[in-house]
Amino acid sequence: MSTRIAFLKGHGTQNDFVIVPDPENAIDLSPAAVAALCDRRAGIGGDGLLHVVRSAAHPEARAMAAEAEWFMDYRNGDGSVAEMCGNGVRVFVRYLQRAGHVSEGDMAVATRGGVKSVHIAKEGDVTVGMGRALLPEGDVTVSVGGRGWPARNVNMGNPHAVAFVDDLAHAGDLFVPPPFSPPSAYPDGVNVEFVVDRGPRHVALRVYERGAGETRSCGTGACAVAVAAARRDGADPSVTGTPTTYTVDVPGGTLVITEQPDGEIEMTGPAVIVAEGVIESEWLENALR
Ligand SMILES: N[C@@H](CCC[C@H](N)C(=O)O)C(=O)O
C-alpha cells in the first residue's frame, strides 16, 4: 500500500470500527493490515473494520449488486473475516449517509450473511432487518474459571453461545475466549454472550467476541440473546402471532430487538461517526514489516 488511505472512526453502542471507504475495491486490506489498523495502542483502534466497497466491485458481493449497491466487507480486529456485524451495519449506513451516498429512509446493504434491509430514521437511530435466527439443536456448555453454564446455540449469520448467569461478574475478566463444548458445535469459533435479567423482556449482557475479545456491544449478539430469552420465557412469535420486543442493555448502551411472527428480527440502535483522517502510508508499511 503506497498511497494515502482515507479512514473514519465510528461506533454503535461503543462497538467501535475503523471505516475504510474503498468503492472500487482497490485497497489490499490484508489480515495483518486490518490488525495493525485496529490495534488500540499502535494503530487507530477498533473492535473491527468496515471496508466500504461497491457490491459490483467485490467478488464476494457481485451476486447481490442488483439488490444492494454497497457491500460491508467486515473484518474482526484480529484481521479475521466474519459473516455479519449488526452494530457494523448501522455505522456503515451512517457513513454512507454522511458521504451523501444515501439519505434517510430505506436501503439495503450486502453482507457475507446476505442482504440486510436498513431504515435510517429522522431522529437518528438506525433499524436493521437482521434476518431470521437459526437455533441448532444440541447441548452446549460454556465455562469461565472452572465454572460452566448451559448455553443456547443461536446463529445470526454468525455463531453465538448464549448463557444465562446470575451475575455478569461471574464471566470474570474475559481476557481469553471462554472454552465451550462440544468443540463440534462451533467449528469456526463462537461469540459468547453472558446474560442476566433486568425486568420483563429486559436483559443485560456481556460479550466475548470471536476475533476481538470482550467488547462494549455486539448487535448480532443482542439479537441472539433476545431470541434465546424469548424461547426461555415461552415466547415464540411464530406460534403466538404476536411480535416480541426485548430491550438489551450492553455495556456501551441499549439496543431494542423485535422478532416478528415470520421470524424476521429487527434491531434498532444508534450509529455515530467520531472522526475522519488519513492513514500514514509510511506507518502502515512499517507496521506490516
Ligand atoms: N460486533 C459485531 C459482530 C462482529 C463479528 C463477530 N466478532 C464474529 O466473528 O462473528 C456485531 O455487532 O454483531
Query: What ranges do the domains of the chain cover?
Result: 5-125+271-287, 140-268
Strands (E), 125-271: 126-131, 140-144, 147-155, 159-164, 180-181, 191-199, 202-209, 213-215, 244-250, 253-259, 265-269
Check if 76 has its Cβ closer than 6 Å to any atom of ligand 1. Answer: yes
| C-alpha–C-alpha distance, residues 273 and 84, integer Å | 20
> What's the gap in Å between 217 CA and the centre of ligand 1?
9
> What's the gap in Å between 174 CA and the centre of ligand 1?
16
> What's the gap in Å between 63 CA and the centre of ligand 1?
23
pLDDT at site 124: 86
pLDDT at site 123: 79
pTM equals: 0.97
**Residue 209 among known ligand-binding residues:** yes
| Residues near 246 by beta carbon (within 8 Å), at least 6 away in sequence | 201, 202, 203, 225, 226, 229, 230, 256, 257
| C-alpha–C-alpha distance, residues 67 and 111, integer Å | 11
**Grid coordinates in use for 105?**
429512509
Check if 267 has its Cβ closer than 6 Å to any atom of ligand 1. Answer: no
User: What would the CATH number be for the domain defined by 140-268?
Assistant: 3.10.310.10
pLDDT at site 4: 81
pLDDT at site 2: 53
Beta-sheet pairing, 159-164 with 147-155: antiparallel
Residues labelled as active-site residues: 85, 218
| C-alpha–C-alpha distance, residues 15 and 214, integer Å | 10
Q: Which atom of ligand 1 is nearest to the CA of 215?
A: 1
Check if 15 has its Cβ closer than 6 Å to any atom of ligand 1. Answer: yes
**Residue 155 among known ligand-binding residues:** no
The residue whose CA has the least distance to atom 1 of ligand 1 is 218
Reported as a single tens digit per residue, the pLDDT across 169-185 is: 999 999 999 999 999 99
Pocket residue to mutate for ligand 1, from 84, 118, 206, 255, most atoms within 8 A of Cβ: 84
Predicted ipTM of the assembly: 0.99
Residue 81 DSSP class: B
Inter-CA distances, 203 with 209, 245, 254, Å: 18, 11, 10
Q: Quick check: 117 and 106 in contact, CB under 8 A?
A: yes
pLDDT at site 276: 98
Q: Which atom of ligand 1 is nearest to the CA of 160?
A: 10
CATH architecture for the domain at 5-125+271-287 = Roll (3.10)
pLDDT at site 174: 97
Q: Which residues of the chain have pLDDT under 70?
A: 1-3
Q: How many CB atoms lie within 10 A of CB 167?
A: 8
